Structure 1
Amino acid sequence: MNDHYEPESNGSGPHGLPVGPDVRMLPSPSDGWVPEPTKISYWKIAWGHKFILLLCIFAGALGGTAYVILKTPEYAAASTVELIGFNQSFMNMSQVDPQAGTDMTTASASNIQTQTRILTSRSMLARVAERMSLEMTPIASTPTTFFTKLRAHIPFAQKEPLEQMKEAVRTAAFTVSARGVGATRLIELRCQSPSPEVAANFLNTLAAEHISQNLAIRSSATQRTSQWMDSQMEEAKSRLQTAGEKLRDFVRQSGMDFFPEQSTLADSKMKVLQGDLAAIQADRIAKQARWEMAKNTPIDSLPDVLSDPTLLGLKSRIVDLRREMAQLTATLTPEHYKVQKIQAQISELQQTLDKEKTGLLKRLDNDYQEALRREKLLSGAYNAQTHAVGAQADKASQYAMLKRDAEMAQQVYNGLLQQANQAALIALVPASNIRVVDAAVADNIPSSPTPMRDIPTWSLFGGALCYGLLWFREVLRRKRLTQLFESPGHTRTILGVPELGVIPSATIDRPKKLAAAQRALNGATSIHPLGTLVEDGQKTLEFATWQNKSSILAESFRQTLTSILRAQPKGECPVYVITSGGPGEGKTTLSANLAIAMAMIGQRVLLIDADLRRARLHSVFGLDNCPGLSDLLTSTESLEEADLAPYLSPTKVDNLRVMTHGLAQVGTPATLFFSPRVKELVKKLRGQFDYILLDTAPVLLFPDARLWGRHSDGVVLVVRAGVTTREGATSACQRFAEDGIAVLGTILNDWTPKEGSPSHYYYHSYEAYGQK
């Protein structure tokens, strides 16, 4: 194994940049420099762009003057009407007026709003415009002001009198407005028109049209109400006659001889039968229960048998004879006449007892059958009486219903007759809820445009618009600076991790030197040239450290390598994960250049393409895609016995090997990295190399970097200037911290020093310093 490269501790500046005797160091937050934009100075924005602002103000004044000259003058007219409420208590008007209760006949705030909407409705304005077109005579307007006289000399602004009147009417209809005047019953009408006579006549015609419309609507509503009430009275009278005839016919046909309000004899009889039926049902149930018990239980255990005195006497006599027989059989033989005599008595008593038991069962059955017959007879009588009572109840219900229909018909007819008389009287009273207070008069002074108002307004608008755009531009610029990483030192201050290095923005702009380097590296082999993408043949920055060893870009990578080597763990091969927050931040470029820089100092380096979704390292190094990482992790072969040489592709850079992403197709690479083979693979590779670098997928999009970080010695986070957001980088560091993975630091990539900054002097004096 080669000896490790030991960098000098005093070879880098505070931001990972090279330090020399003629190079100034960048300011850092510890020196009192805060990399935040200062507060916006509004006066500074205005003073810095004063000529642009004055130009916009002048352009606004010119626009205002053109507006005043070219715009057709409009004349304003105003009229006031009063909303008058009706006395709904007069002649009980609220009972017969169809609009009563709708707030349309009062001077309330809601009705004022309703009337203003009606006055400005499309149908009302269309009728007024049509009426004016038929009644008015076209008259050309006379100029009265300097600007209107100046406009009269513009040829394209002149129109025929008829066309002018039509346009004046359309403008008046379009600009008409109505609003309530404070807490009063007044409604103010306003409109504008190119003709003052048209504006005034339009408002007066609008008020007259609204009054006539209200009168017509009220008259039509009253007429329809009267006609409807007449038809309803005829119908109510017909229903009353029909209800009376039905009631009389029902009484005559049903032969009713009772009053529905009183209880009848049939009801009393039904109640008596109902009580008797309930009693006989209870007796039948009791006897049925005794009979069911006698059938289903031993006869000697029946309560009637146990309590019957005759059966008890017979049982007692049999027991005595059996006791006496037992005494005799103790001394005499069974053939003895005394024994025979007692045996004959016991048999006779037993027969008598059996007959009594049989007779008891027969009596229980007879009692149950008798109770059942009585229940059936009484139930039949009760049902017959129930039908009789039901028939009477149906008659009483029909009678009550017919009587109620007749009474209701009479009430409806009486109410309609009274309201019809009142409606006939109210129809003779003409009333309108609108009264004109101030009629509109023509005003010969135009209300729009107003030169003293419009020209300064346009000037201020032009200046304000210009200043607003300038201010918004400045806000966007400063907001972008606050949300993105722009300069060295920001990552250390915000993320709290070391800044390992700063990679300045550069392009491969020396094709002659690059071509010579490619020829020296590739020779006559079939491998694709270094620094050239296989797909499109474009030069890349992945080999800046190798192709232009003396450039500032190469020196920046070596300076970054110095910071990384300083954090090298002792006693084992370090494994570093190189990732970024999102795509397009340069992690693959940094991985390739750092690997080349390590190999150039004599270290055995392995660069692993762990980004299986967008694998690029095989194209970057001009390699054919061969078995690699995915094949090792999906294989079932033991890693301890496996030969890793086929998976380690050599490059033209000495001491540098590349493990491509492999040929195995993996749908979800994250699940592959959960495999325990990852740990075994890392352990085996540590014994073969001095340094191992892994190019992984972006950490904010995929979990690959976090999974590899568990088996590594630290993570290097790539931050691209002007692209990476502070929130994204902070979230990435927080995820690694939650997983217990050490973040070695950040690398600021694609940094462009701003003119006038201390770093700008270093960036542009590097080449001159190298020539000394």
Structure 2
Amino acid sequence: MNSEEIHLRDYLRVISKRRNLVLTVFGLIFVAVALYTFARTPLYEGTTQVLIEKARPSGLGSEGSYRLYDPEFYETQFQLIKSRAVALRVVRALELTAADLEADRERGLLASLGDWVRDLKRTVKRVILGEMEEPEAVDAEGEEIALADEISENLTVRPFKNSRIVTISYRSPNPEFAARVANTTARAYIEQTLNMKLDSTRLTLDWMTRKAEEERKKLDKAEKALQAYMVANDIVTLEDRLAVTPQKLNQISSQLVIAEAKRKEQEAIYNQVRRLVDSPEEAETLPAVASDPAMQTLRTEILKAEQHVRELSAKYGPKHPVMKKVVGDLEVLRRKRDQEVQRIVRSLENQYELAVSTEEGLRAQLEKTKAEALNLNQKFIQYGVLKREVETNRQLYDALMMKIKEQSITRETQPVNLWIVQKASVPEGPVLPNKPKNLLLGLIVGLMAGIGLAFFVEYLDNTVKYPDETEKALGLSVLGLVSLWKEKDKVLERVLLDQPRSGCAENYRALRTAVMLSSPEGAPGRILITSPGAAAGKTTTAANLAVTMAQTEKKVLLIDGDMRKPRLHRVFGLSNRYGLSNYLAGGSGEDLLQKGPVDNLAIITSGPVPPNPAELLSSARMSKLLDGLEKNFDVIICDTPPLLTVADPRILSRLFKGTVLVVRARQTTFEMAGKAIKSLADINAPVLGLVINALELKKSDYYYQYYYQSYYGEEPEAQEG
């Protein structure tokens, strides 16, 4: 199976690990929904059923425009039912007052809280702005409008699917009041529809009567203006000329196009012949010259004469009388050909001039005809304007008179057919809140929100935690895991000395084994310990790795290469008066090595903090020191400063055969670790692998708990101290 595949247990692991967050979000949402559900006042719904049909027209000119299916019609009726006009009729019919609706409003916890907040805002506003005067009294009309708006807000209009029946519902904490308002609204809607029809018809008749009189006056005025214009411009003769002129204009345009084409053709032929007039033989090849009958006859005679000359030249010499005669005849024919070419050129020139003259005459005639047509069009445009105005006014007047007669006949008809199918009865139970539905919704939404937030938090967490995902993300093997050390009174750097059977001690022994097996030749002779950032545990790892290797009877040297914040001398209680910095600055090698806390372990402390650690570490004395010490020790382990903070680790990594990168679980990010690995790869430093330090194994980390238990034979709790 592909190791990159995401399994269901990975999702379950995330949910289990973030279960506190999931339960918290779920609890908050579910409790909020439950409080809202049980604190809300129960609402009862009274429902009335009304049949609404679109009335058919009376048949006077409107049958063609009637549509049985009209989706906008029903939506219009729904808005009319919820309009303020209908609500005002309800208020007046039931004789409602503000006290009636005040007693009918919700009195639950949420409603009381909302009223308290609104009263507090008004009080604060009056105090800040100094508005301490008494509120103005609301007039009767304003009170009715406010009551009508409140009635309209609580109305619900719903159509039955695939029917013409509409339900009008009203919700109220009082079931009797809900039924009364629903029934009264249905009756008010019917009354409002009838009144709207009567008012509309009356207003329409008044307006159309006034408009018809205005249109009659406009029609009379337009007819008189048209008649006067026809007399002044002789419109009868003008119509005949307007019909002939366009035809004449088209004919002249066609002739002009033909003449222009003929002129261009004659011009092209004339230009060709004129260029070759001095070369009769070349001019003879042109189609316009070659097609001339006289030229064809001369060409035939010249060919015969030339053939006759060739025949006689075979018998006679050039000075023979016969030869002179035939040669003279040939010259005469050629002169005639040249004369004929000149004649053809003059003929083509005359044809070209005639074509130019014809084109110019047609163009002048076309311009004249255009001017005449333009003048006629201008006169006829004004005539058309006046005529259209007369026709428009006549159509408007006739239409208004037809509508006036139609409205007078159909004024008593109804535009909508309305019947109350079923009156509202007093509801037996509330419709809101729906407690089972709300609780189920709160359960589902709370659970989904908690799980979603858990995955979001997991997505944002980009710190190093577990070996499999670390190896996948960084491309390096994990050499070992060190569990989180929770005993504050114990020093983790001395765990192998103080608590050799603890879980952390076993972690470092496992790390020792992994380092020794990191290459076929065994553990490298020089091992550099570093970390991407501070407080990752590199000094702890270097100290414990050196102790556990020395316990295998290998001769181990531990060097404190952190000459900025040294700690090894304090961990093992050694003197730091003379150390690595003294030697690299030019001191002698005496008293450089100090005995460690176990056999086979020697320690070189950092010495006094120098002003230039990087320059000392990059000196030749450092390389010479390591070469000399390597002869006396099996393993040299060096602790260094953080890799991304200073250049010291990169300088030293060139002198060591393997680098171990220490990262702190849930603190070191993958970006920091990736940058550290890249900085080592840029200088070709060999990296043995990673050590994940301070890994806290929670109950949700079942896989790693099982790993630790099976590997070390202990429970994770015992390993933590």
Q: Which range, TM-score by smaller chain?
A: 0.5 to 0.7
Secondary structure of 1:294's aligned partner: coil
1:425 aligns with 2:408: no
What is residue 55 of structure 2 aligned with on the other side? 86
Match of 1:293 among 276, 279, 286: 276
Secondary structure of 2:170's aligned partner: strand
Secondary structure of 2:51's aligned partner: strand
Distance 2:227 2:385 in 1: 9
1:233-382 maps to which residues of 2 (within 5 A)? 235=218, 238-239=221-222, 242-243=225-226, 245-251=228-234, 260=243, 285-295=268-278, 298-303=279-284, 308=298, 312=302, 363-364=343-344, 366-382=346-362
Q: What amino acid is the match of 1:91?
A: L
> Tell me, which stretches of 5 or more residues in structure 1 are unaligned?
1-33, 149-155, 157-161, 331-337, 515-540, 610-615, 633-640, 649-653, 728-746, 768-772
Distance 1:265 1:568 in 2: 108
Secondary structure of 1:693's aligned partner: strand
CA displacement, residues 639-669 of structure 1 (integer Å, 9 cap, x when unaligned): xx96644999xxxxx9543444689989xx9
Shift of 1:260: 1.9
Contact 1:119/1:206 (8 A) holds in 2: yes
Report the CA distance shift for 1:481/1:267 in structure 2 as closer, same or farther (over 3 A). Answer: closer
Shift of 1:91: 0.6
Secondary structure of 2:276's aligned partner: helix
Match of 1:189 among 168, 180, 186: 168
Shift of 1:240: 5.5
Q: What amino acid is the match of 1:506?
A: W
Shift of 1:175: 1.5
CA displacement, residues 69-93 of structure 1 (integer Å, 9 cap, x when unaligned): xx5x877544444324222362113
Distance 1:368 1:231 in 2: 74
What is residue 571 of structure 2 aligned with on the other side? none
Contact 1:699/1:706 (8 A) holds in 2: no
1:693 aligns with 2:676: no
Q: What amino acid is the match of 1:569?
A: P
What is residue 602 of structure 1 aligned with on the other side? 555
CA displacement, residues 42-76 of structure 1 (integer Å, 9 cap, x when unaligned): xxx9xxx9xxx9xx99x989995xx69xx5x8775
Shift of 1:423: 1.4
Distance 1:385 1:463 in 2: 94
Secondary structure of 2:73's aligned partner: helix
Report the CA distance shift for 1:130/1:565 in structure 2 as closer, same or farther (over 3 A). Answer: same
Report the CA distance shift for 1:244/1:631 in structure 2 as closer, same or farther (over 3 A). Answer: farther
Shift of 1:415: 3.9
Secondary structure of 1:179's aligned partner: strand
Shift of 1:579: 9.9
Contact 1:140/1:164 (8 A) holds in 2: no
Contact 1:605/1:655 (8 A) holds in 2: yes
Distance 2:624 2:548 in 1: 23
Secondary structure of 2:191's aligned partner: helix
Distance 1:246 1:625 in 2: 113
CA displacement, residues 108-146 of structure 1 (integer Å, 9 cap, x when unaligned): 56522331133224x44674577579x5567879999xx
1:469-488 maps to which residues of 2 (within 5 A)? none
CA displacement, residues 499-536 of structure 1 (integer Å, 9 cap, x when unaligned): 865533224522xx76xxxxxxxxxxxxxxxxxxxxxx
What is residue 120 of structure 1 aligned with on the other side? 82
Report the CA distance shift for 1:575/1:93 in structure 2 as closer, same or farther (over 3 A). Answer: farther
Distance 1:62 1:393 in 2: 85
Which protein has the bigger helix share?
A: 2
Report the CA distance shift for 1:549/1:61 in structure 2 as closer, same or farther (over 3 A). Answer: closer
Report the CA distance shift for 1:272/1:90 in structure 2 as closer, same or farther (over 3 A). Answer: closer
What is residue 157 of structure 2 aligned with on the other side? 178
Distance 1:491 1:272 in 2: 91
Match of 1:705 among 677, 687, 694: 677
What is residue 536 of structure 1 aligned with on the other side? none
Shift of 1:714: 4.1
Distance 2:700 2:533 in 1: 15
Q: What amino acid is the match of 2:350?
A: E
CA displacement, residues 2-25 of structure 1 (integer Å, 9 cap, x when unaligned): xxxxxxxxxxxxxxxxxxxxxxxx
Q: Quick one: percent identity of the two aligned structures?
A: 10
What is residue 657 of structure 1 aligned with on the other side? 638
Report the CA distance shift for 1:413/1:261 in structure 2 as closer, same or farther (over 3 A). Answer: farther
1:570 aligns with 2:551: no
Secondary structure of 2:61's aligned partner: helix
Shift of 1:294: 1.4
What is residue 396 of structure 2 aligned with on the other side? 416
Contact 2:662/2:692 (8 A) holds in 1: no
Contact 1:585/1:723 (8 A) holds in 2: no
Contact 2:57/2:63 (8 A) holds in 1: yes
Secondary structure of 1:112's aligned partner: helix
Shift of 1:178: 1.6
What is residue 590 of structure 2 aligned with on the other side? none
Distance 2:462 2:351 in 1: 106
Contact 1:627/1:647 (8 A) holds in 2: no
Distance 2:699 2:611 in 1: 34
Q: What amino acid is the match of 1:383?
A: R
Contact 2:476/2:690 (8 A) holds in 1: no
What is residue 180 of structure 2 aligned with on the other side? 200
Distance 1:193 1:404 in 2: 68
Distance 1:314 1:168 in 2: 125
1:124-139 maps to which residues of 2 (within 5 A)? 124=85, 127-128=88-89, 136=96
Shift of 1:570: 0.8
> Tell me, which stretches of 5 or more residues in structure 2 are unaligned?
1-8, 109-115, 117-139, 290-294, 569-605, 627-634
Contact 1:299/1:357 (8 A) holds in 2: yes
Distance 1:509 1:234 in 2: 109
CA displacement, residues 16-37 of structure 1 (integer Å, 9 cap, x when unaligned): xxxxxxxxxxxxxxxxxx9997
How does the TM-score come out when normalised to structure 2? 0.56
RMSD: 7.1
How does the TM-score come out when normalised to structure 1? 0.53
Distance 1:348 1:470 in 2: 126
1:212 aligns with 2:195: yes
Distance 2:143 2:270 in 1: 114
Distance 1:478 1:498 in 2: 27
Distance 2:226 2:617 in 1: 100
Shift of 1:485: 13
1:556 aligns with 2:507: yes
What is residue 25 of structure 1 aligned with on the other side? none
Distance 1:477 1:374 in 2: 99
Q: What amino acid is the match of 2:690?
A: V
Contact 1:314/1:353 (8 A) holds in 2: no
Secondary structure of 1:82's aligned partner: strand
Report the CA distance shift for 1:131/1:631 in structure 2 as closer, same or farther (over 3 A). Answer: farther
Q: What amino acid is the match of 2:689?
A: V
**How many pairs were matched up?**
589
Shift of 1:302: 3.7
Shift of 1:177: 1.4
Report the CA distance shift for 1:255/1:176 in structure 2 as closer, same or farther (over 3 A). Answer: closer
Match of 1:383 among 363, 386, 402: 363
Contact 2:219/2:393 (8 A) holds in 1: yes
Distance 1:347 1:503 in 2: 128
Report the CA distance shift for 1:346/1:715 in structure 2 as closer, same or farther (over 3 A). Answer: same
Distance 2:661 2:549 in 1: 15
Secondary structure of 1:92's aligned partner: coil
Distance 1:474 1:351 in 2: 118
Q: What amino acid is the match of 2:638?
A: R
What is residue 333 of structure 1 aligned with on the other side? none
